[in-house]
Structure 1
Amino acid sequence: MGVNLNFVIFFAAVVFVNCGNDFDFNLPAQHVKYFLFRRPDIAEKCRADKNCPYNLMAQNLDECWGYEPNCNFGKRSYSRKTIKCSKKAPDIEKSRNAFYYNADFGLIKKQNASLVELCSPVNLGDASLRCSESFEYCYAKNIFFNFANLKHDKNGKKYRSDIIGKGDVGGRCKFHERKFKNLALDAYDGYLQSWAAEMKYFQRFPSFQLNDSYCDVIFDQPTIVIKLDAGINMYHHFCDFINLYLSQHLNGSFHQDVDIILWDTDASPYFDIFRETWLAFTTKPLIDLQDFDGKRVCFREAMFPVLARKVFGLYYNMPMPDYCRASGLVQAFSHHLIHRLQLKQNGPLREKLRVTYLVRSSQYRIIMNTNEIVKRLKADPQFSVTVAKYTLAIPVLEQYQMSHNTDIFMSIHGAGLTHMFFLPDWAVVFELYHCGDPECYRDLATLRGLKFFGWEDETKVQYQEKDVKNPKFTNFYLDADEVMRIVHLAAEHVWSNKLFRQAHARLHSKPKPEL
């Protein structure tokens, strides 16, 4: 059965409308006021409804994410409170602004500024299409895709960009040909960089009707169509998730009553060892593109989000701005996942710091003297040590929960360090050895706003094999004294961290006796 949606025009884009309970946002409590500022239509409903749980909050909304048209990157913005810049910066304000626009909510401001209306409705039920620069993000209504060329049984190769051609995508609308040509002229069409390979074929079809006569499949509910990076690598896959979160900000809706189609052209279904993470974005089963082989699929409302490897994207192709750290966007993403996946913080402990030592289960990048290091860690009375091996045998939500209850997270260079998205804000990341790539996870920790420690002395690490061309393909012996020295520096940071001390006091301080 189709659902009649009342579409709301706001922020230069049509946004998904909340279905069901208008005030059941399922957002972190600290995010609600920013969301209401972003969505004045919902805020107005809340002010008019005394049963709205945020009625009082909605009366005076003066704080914003920072990308809204009526909100600049000033004192009222979310990121102004999170971004920290070094006093070594030649111009702190200039550095802060550069960080904001290249690594924070300013990315959304730039995407929104580049949105172009390519197809406009003339009559009720007509199509519409808006896309940002290079077709990096698109939002559409009442359009179709024809997947006659998918033929995944014969051509089931990953990262295909030949399944949509002339006549395979479009709708009934007023087509702005000059705008379309200008946008397509400079568009790059890398599979995980944009939607140019598909949207460049968009056409006006005057006779198109979104009904069973024209469509084999109709999506009446809001739909997210997304191309994906590797589902077996946490670092790469979380590029998908964080850019989807960015796109939801651009779209203006975080509702979970949405269909999600995984645009993967491989012959086999998309293999995703982090599949439970999608619970933060939808309550519905995921849908594989190959289910539509040979069919014409119609969408009443669809979002095509920013993709994982966008040029100068977040965070895969990002040139890290100097002098500043702690992206409000990345922090908000982390808090959003922790809230939606219902991870519970059980700490801090009264007298110990929780250390998680993540062990790889692969052939390479093994620390050969792990037992010696773990023994030293466990002998230190200030530490409660967990040796973790995140394999398929451990449900991914349990892995996230373990990481969330960590004060010092340590592991050798590898995708497992991406678990820093689930660490508490006071935690420390210690990359035991960088394997020739010292920037990757240091930069991610910089974005996340976590203190990062890396290996400092190359004379205190031994390769298992001599003359190794690529240090990512060998194993190592680390000087245990040097490991402990760095861990103790990490511990000092956690013990003195303001957020840690506040959380510790809330959990363990005894109430003062009444007089």
Structure 2
Amino acid sequence: MLGLWLWPHLLTLVATAEGATDWGDLRLPLEHVPYFFRNNPHLEQRCKDEDTCPYKAMLRETRCWGYEEKCPESQRKSLPQCEGEVEPTRRKSVPDRKSLFWRQADFGYVKDRMDNMKVFCRGSHTSDSSLECTDALGFCRGRNIYLDLRHANMTTRDRYRNDIVHNSTFGGHCDLDKVGLNAAMTTPVINKRPLASWMQEMEHFASLHPQPLSTGECDVIVDRPTLIIKMDEEYNIFHHTCVFMNLYISLHLNNSFSKHVNLLVWDTSAFDLLGYMSELRGAFTKHDVMLLKQLDGKRVCFRDAIFSLPSRMLLGIYYNLAPPEKLRVTFLVRNQYLSQTSCSYRCGIDNMYPDLARMRGINYITWEKMDALTPENKTALPNRTNYSFDVGEFVRLVRVAADQVTSHHDLKKARLRTHKGHREL
């Protein structure tokens, strides 16, 4: 299933004055269009009916991401692959380990989140509010949500204050399952950290009467669907990448890929900390990025709010992920068949970066000679200081990586095909 609430304005493309569909609003790679049609049969039918649809060739494709209700394994976007023999001491068989990998690090992860989506606040009419979330409140979406920031006073350095929202300042006009919401918060303490879930915000979600949108209590009404995200450390590219990876997965959870959306950074500090969002926002929206502090002092009503998966969920993507060993996959982030990743130094974190490389299905190398590595601050934690490297050793590692790529059998095949094509010309 694709969630318990239908959000038609998120799933429907823009219609022109003549009634035809603006297919330019479907901003997806061409190879992903068949998957989108699989989840949106009404748009697939519209493409069949309209002569202006540029995706006619995609209608012949029968593919699915893997999280759909009726998606056979043979039609999935990607399948895990085992490299080499699995140790006989391993308890799980190869099929079991493949299934586990698919659920933890592939589109099976999306399916698991969809399957445990729960409604916590249900409205009686279409003009009412609603709220539904996954387990541990990692992903939530709401309709007609009220947020009172008149006393937020975002003037400090604290990026994730837990006093921004409290009872009666955050909620909607709907019947709240407070018992169910409280039960969703009885999870490991790590899930209650700001970058692990939306718990510290959702625990204050309240049933409001009457509907703020109908009583003129909203100083600002945000009509455009809004993706709300929490930014991780900008100075660490690994942590920062987690933000965008989970934002992309959230689009799948919501089955919405339009760029007519807002991006709102939930940061309670007084700073403009956008990180690489300025450069990457074009992949998600046509509009300027919003900061929470821009709404400081106002009562805000969101027609549609999507609280994106945060970057540091327990067993999330990528943070804290530990996929089964010797498995690799063509996952959401893998676009090239040939690549090599290297980490100059793991900074005392042994498994995180190799896991990232294995998820993407590429080789991994790192610094080997510790006597050729010098920390700037010898008393600081390994991941909290800069390093200088021996130039000769650095060049050697680059050459090792280059040799592994140039000797790859897929690259040799590609070169043979290119050479053959030139000869035929």
Output the TM-score relative to the length of structure 1.
0.72
Residue 491 of structure 1 corresponds to: 402
What is residue 370 of structure 1 aligned with on the other side?
none
Name the counterpart of 2:236. Answer: 233
Match for residue 62 of structure 1? 62
* Aligned residue runs from structure 1 range 74-473, under 5 A: 74-80=73-79, 83-90=81-88, 91-153=93-155, 155-186=156-187, 188-211=191-214, 213-331=216-334, 335=335, 424-456=336-368, 461=372, 463=374, 470-471=381-382, 473=385
Which residue is equivalent to 1:374?
none
Residues 446-480 of structure 1, C-alpha deviation per residue, up to 9 Å, x if partnerless?
A: 1122222234455x635479987755546455483
Question: Over residues 410-457 of structure 1, what are the superposed CA-to-partner deviations in whole Å (9 max), with x where a residue is unaligned?
Answer: xxxxxxxxxxxxxx4412123344344343322211112222223445
Task: Describe the shift of the 1:159–1:490 C-alpha distance in structure 2 as closer, same or farther (beyond 3 A).
Answer: same
Tell me the amino acid that sits aligned with residue 45 of structure 1.
R
Structure 1 runs not aligned, ≥5 long: 1-8, 336-423
Is the CA contact (8 Å cut-off) linking 1:37 and 1:61 kept in structure 2? no
| Root-mean-square deviation over aligned CA pairs | 2.9
Q: How far 1:50 moved relative to its partner?
A: 3.2
- SS for the counterpart of 1:194 is coil
Distance in 1 between residues matched to 2:320 and 2:243, nearest whole Å: 13
**1:37 and 1:434 mapped to 2: Cα distance?**
41
User: Conserved in 2, the CA contact under 8 Å of 1:232 and 1:271?
Assistant: no
Partner Cα separation in structure 1 for residue 132 and residue 249 of structure 2: 17
Distance (whole Å) between structure 1 residues aligned to residue 301 and residue 378 of structure 2? 57
Task: Give the Å deviation of 1:501.
Answer: 4.2
Tell me how far 1:312 sits from its aligned partner.
1.2
Residue 64 of structure 1: how far off its partner (Å): 0.9
Deviation of 1:179 after TM superposition, in Å, equals 2.7
Shift of 1:133: 0.7
* Residues in 2 aligned to 1:156 and 1:433: alpha-carbon distance in whole angstroms: 30
* Helix, strand or coil at the partner of 2:231: coil
Question: One-letter code of the match for 1:426?
Answer: L
Rounded Cα–Cα distance in structure 1 between residues aligned with 2:172 and 2:361:
44
Distance of 1:184 and 1:190 partners within structure 2: 12
**1:119–1:129 Cα contact (<8 Å) kept:** yes
Deviation of residue 497 (structure 1)? 3.1
Note the C-alpha offset of 1:116: 0.5
Amino acid at match of 2:102: Y
- Quickly say closer, same or farther: Cα 1:283–1:177, change in 2 above 3 A: same
AA paired with 2:268? Answer: T
Within 5 A, what are the aligned runs for 1:39-54? 39-54=40-55
Residue identity matched to 1:52: C
Question: Which whole-Å CA distance do the structure 2 matches of 1:30 and 1:113 have between them?
Answer: 26
Match for 2:270: what amino acid?
A
Note if contact 1:141-1:300 (Cα within 8 Å) is conserved in structure 2: yes
- Write the distance in 2 (CA, Å) between the matches of 1:463 and 1:440: 22
Matching residue's letter, 1:429: T
Indicate how the Cα distance of structure 1 residues 284 and 453 shifts in structure 2: closer, same or farther if over 3 A, else same: same
Identity of aligned residues (%): 30
Question: Which moves more between the two structures, 465-474 or 225-234?
Answer: 465-474
Q: Secondary structure at the match of 2:320?
A: coil
Q: Distance in 1 between matches of 2:242 and 2:375?
A: 32
The unaligned stretches of length 5 or more in structure 2 are: 15-20
In the alignment, which residue of structure 1 is the partner of 2:6? 14
Structure 1 pair 471–240 and aligned structure 2 pair: CA distance change class (3 A): closer
- Say if 1:433 and 1:152 are closer, same or farther in 2 by CA, change over 3 A: closer
Residues 92-122 of structure 1 show CA distances to partners (whole Å, capped at 9, x for unaligned) of 2111111111122121111111110112221
The answer (yes or no) to whether the contact 2:231–2:274 under 8 Å persists in 1 is: no
Taking a change above 3 Å as real, the CA distance of residues 168 and 85 of structure 1, as seen in their structure-2 partners, is farther
Cα distance between partner residues in 2 of 1:465 and 1:214? 55
* Alignment size in residue pairs: 409
SS at match of 1:210: helix
Contact 2:321 2:355 in 1 (8 A): no
Question: What is the Cα deviation at residue 150 of structure 1?
Answer: 1.2
Do the aligned partners of residues 494 and 205 (structure 1) sit closer, same or farther apart at CA in structure 2, a change above 3 Å counting? same
**C-alpha separation in 2, matches of 1:467 and 1:235:** 23
User: Tell me, what secondary structure is at the counterpart of 2:221?
Assistant: strand
2:68 matched to 1:71? no
Match of 1:297, SS state, is strand
Distance 1:200 1:462 in 2: 47
